[in-house]
Structure 1
Amino acid sequence: MPVVYLITADVKPEQRERFLSLLNGVLDAMRHEDTFIEAVLHEDPGTPNRFMLYEAWQSHEDVMTVQLNRPYRKPWHDALPELLDSPRDISIWQPLRADLKSGQPGNTSLNTASISDQERASAPAS
């Protein structure tokens, strides 16, 4: 089942460029992983050194047992204490629905069937 991670980080102003450089290396490598779906890096428009990363993967188990142990992540993880003002906030989500504007490029592998409230109410509990 797909899984989404929302990761927020407050970066020390003097470490901004190093943070982005190391993270870009991780993101560039991640996109080639078989279980990777997508990642989107956001910057808080009101707080330039606050970032939010949206990562979607096909399997939480794979992320925990394989992906977090990839060698390309080590320099990034090792540098975090020097880069951040405080520990990252990481939350885990399961997608229920994804919508993309028709004709727009994008990864649709997270899309799930949309069902009405009536159909949901009559579906057996799993």
Structure 2
Amino acid sequence: MPETYVITFHVKVDQVARFHALLGPVLDAMRDEATFVHAALHVDPDRSDVFQLHETWIDRSDVLNVQLQRPYRREWHAALDDVLAAPREIAIWRLLRSDARPQA
């Protein structure tokens, strides 16, 4: 059953550009993973240094044992202590319902 990882980042103000530069290639690479479903990055409209990432994956075991170990994530993970003002907040959610406007 797919799960969504909701990750909140409090980024140091002077590290916002680096945050984007490091995360962008990770998000681009994730698209090609077999168990990947969807990702969306959000920014707090009142705090431009607070972000929330929603990543949906099919298999938790694959995320923990394979995806987090991918080489394209190394630089990202290594930089987190320098980029973040506080530890990431991670929550796991399962979808109960999804609604979207039909495409014309």
AA of the residue aligned to 1:46: D
* Alignment coverage as a number of residue pairs: 104
Q: Partner residue of 1:88?
A: 88
What pairs up with 1:39-50 in 2 under 5 angstroms?
Answer: 39-50=39-50
AA of the residue aligned to 2:69: N
Which runs of structure 1 show a deviation greater than 3 angstroms over 4 or more consecutive aligned residues?
none
1:56 is the counterpart of 2:48: no
Structure 2 unmatched ranges of 5 or more: none
What TM-score, normalized to structure 1?
Answer: 0.81
What's the CA shift for 1:12?
0.4
Report which structure shows greater RCO (CA 8 Å, sep ≥6).
2
Structure 1 unmatched ranges of 5 or more: 105-126
AA of the residue aligned to 2:74: K
What's the CA shift for 1:65?
0.8
Please state whether the residue corresponding to 1:49 is helix, strand or coil.
strand
What's the CA shift for 1:29?
0.3
Structure with bigger strand share is: 2
What's the CA shift for 1:39?
0.3
1:65 is the counterpart of 2:40: no
Q: Partner residue of 1:118?
A: none
Identity score, percent: 50
- Please, what is the CA RMSD of the aligned residues? 0.9
Find the structure with the greater CA-based Rg: 1
1:100 is the counterpart of 2:100: yes
What CA distance in whole angstroms lies between the structure 1 residues aligned with 2:5 and 2:31? 15
